[in-house]
Structure 1
Amino acid sequence: MRQTKPLPATVRRWAEQRIGPIVAVRDTSHDWYRSRVWELEGEGEARRYVKVSPSEKFFTRETRAYRGVVPVLGHSHAPHLLDSRAEDLALLLTAVPGAPAAGLGLTTGGWRTVHRQAGGLCARLHEAGDLDRTDRAQAEGSLEAAADGAEKYLTRAGNRLTRAERQVIRDYAAQLRRVGPVPVGYIHGDNQPRNWLWSPAGLALVDFERTRPAARVQDLVILAVTEWLDHPDREQAFLQAYGRELTGAERHALRCLTALDAVNCLAWGPDNDHPDVTARGRRTLDRLMRENRL
């Protein structure tokens, strides 16, 4: 059973200075030791959230996202940043309705509706404003940066991969460097149903600590190896609302990126006691190995 994480006293005092007395606190962190998020109940049952970022890098990304990118989603489709405190890496956020779609047991039609709305929201996010020179350079170099990370993950994965599997990962990393131009923009960075809140009011996106300028197709990797692999109707619904089909270059980049996601999962999952992540990586890599033999 996951241990409940206490809200740090300094963060609580800061939050109360901003929103008034807190009458109840509930730990709503993900099942990961570095995830720290709490629901705050104020007087009159008003709800807010406070998040303590895992690192300064994530704190900087998320505060920037809330200030400059997330507002394009609209008031009811993402939290609003009330305040931030760099000393504690803390963000104070409004609440949005809904619960994570991943745990709702939705029907087939319900999942298509969720993916359709997710496609529309991702399109808004990906097209949020013009990239400045620095952001554009980062975005246009994001696929090469992903390829550069392959060796790090291969080293961390160690003997969890065979020699043949390691060569396949290197081959896909090399191909990724040659994909060519693809559409770029601001991506969510952890785009999956656990970060999609679903309610009768519609869909909302949360958790923007990985939001950054990048190739837009990078936001589809987790969906491609989980949600869409066995449910192509969900992919069709998403892309219909997204407003376009992926280009040939994006399709090729996506395949390469799924290989890099696999080795990342096989490096990170066992080290952090996440069997679901490990299984995702193993399933993807096994599929790629089979397909490469055909």
Structure 2
Amino acid sequence: MSGAKALPTALRSWAEREVGVVDDVRDASHPRENSRVWELVRADGCRFYLKIAPKARMYERETLAMRHATPALGAGRAPQLRASSAEHLALLTTAVTGRPVKELPLTAAEEYEAHRQGGLLLARLHAAGDLTGHWRREAEGALYAAAQGVDKQLEQAGDRLTPTERALVRNLAAELRMVGPLPLGFIHGDAWPRNLLWSGSAAWIDFERSRFAPVVQDFVALACGVWADKPRLRTACFSGYGRELTPEEGHVLKCLSGLEAVSALTWGEAHGDPYVTARGRRTLDRLMAGVFA
């Protein structure tokens, strides 16, 4: 492909020591500068992915997820870690069958089932891992930390928000500081249709934002995105998940969506992504109109 990113020789050698001789290398990066992912194909057709994390924190989170949480999803429902290199922030994983739901021409029934299974897998993920010690303390403080970041987010957003919208987002952030205990778990952190694969069965990929947190945080991207257009997919997801959100979680979802909207507006314009920008604007409009649910 034109402008394809080349896999460094040292990393190819490292990968081949782990999985054998690679017959083909294909750039699988997203169209942004800090995305570096390659599909490796052996002569026998077996596929792997080599990913260089954009930041050390993302490398640590994805490595932790694959070692301690994603096995709970079941075989073929998430990548398996074959090797990792802290020196290069690199992860070598198995490939998962399927394509992102976002890219597939699914029937209504297939789309419903994909999201139902996606919710089922999130329930398994949320119950995985060892939620003790500093992991629990981090999870318990996650909403307060999110609220504390509102000033920086609004500063970065600049005049993309009206004074009334800025006041609304500040109020929503303030309400997060007063929330009581919520169900905690190991969340995916970027659960939306781009990272949900479908091949007749569902799988989740891309765990670089995974962490212990209130589990409601895993539904923000969906609530601000595909659920706004297709509320039946919300029903599908929670059918698989095994429960609806509590009233307290529903309120927190609304508050977090205000912060997500600001982040989407800023990130989308900075990276030339009109989809993300539009998602942020629509979420703010829904919040202002009082129709967010």
For normalisation by structure 1, the TM-score amounts to 0.96
> Once the 2 structures are TM-superposed, how far is the Cα of residue 2 of structure 1 from its aligned partner?
7.5
Report the equivalent of 1:236: 235
- Deviation string 1:140-178 (CA, Å, 9 cap, x unpaired) is 111111111111110111111111111111010011112
> Once the 2 structures are TM-superposed, how far is the Cα of residue 109 of structure 1 from its aligned partner?
1.2
Partner AA of 1:69 in structure 2: A
CA distance in 2, matches of 1:35, 1:197: 19
1:220 counterpart = 2:219: yes
Secondary structure (helix, strand or coil) at the match of 2:228 reads coil
1:264-275 equivalences under 5 Å are 264-275=263-274
CA distance in 1, matches of 2:210, 2:69: 9
> Once the 2 structures are TM-superposed, how far is the Cα of residue 27 of structure 1 from its aligned partner?
1.1
Aligned length: 291
Change in Cα spacing, 1:2 to 1:171, as seen in structure 2 (3 Å) is: farther
> Once the 2 structures are TM-superposed, how far is the Cα of residue 41 of structure 1 from its aligned partner?
0.7
Report the equivalent of 2:4: 4
CA distance in 1, matches of 2:3, 2:193: 23
Secondary structure (helix, strand or coil) at the match of 1:88 reads coil
- Deviation string 1:83-104 (CA, Å, 9 cap, x unpaired) is 0011111111011111111100
1:124-163 equivalences under 5 Å are 124-163=124-163
CA distance in 1, matches of 2:3, 2:149: 32
> Once the 2 structures are TM-superposed, how far is the Cα of residue 3 of structure 1 from its aligned partner?
3.1
1:44-55 equivalences under 5 Å are 44-55=44-55
CA distance in 2, matches of 1:12, 1:5: 13
Secondary structure (helix, strand or coil) at the match of 2:40 reads strand
CA distance in 2, matches of 1:32, 1:133: 36
CA distance in 1, matches of 2:133, 2:17: 38
> Once the 2 structures are TM-superposed, how far is the Cα of residue 230 of structure 1 from its aligned partner?
2.1
CA distance in 2, matches of 1:118, 1:3: 34
CA distance in 1, matches of 2:2, 2:149: 31
1:100 counterpart = 2:86: no
Report the equivalent of 2:276: 277
Report the equivalent of 2:34: 34
Percent of aligned pairs sharing the same letter:
51
Report the equivalent of 1:198: 198
> Once the 2 structures are TM-superposed, how far is the Cα of residue 246 of structure 1 from its aligned partner?
0.6
For normalisation by structure 2, the TM-score amounts to 0.96
Change in Cα spacing, 1:245 to 1:278, as seen in structure 2 (3 Å) is: same
CA distance in 2, matches of 1:203, 1:222: 18
> Once the 2 structures are TM-superposed, how far is the Cα of residue 276 of structure 1 from its aligned partner?
1.1
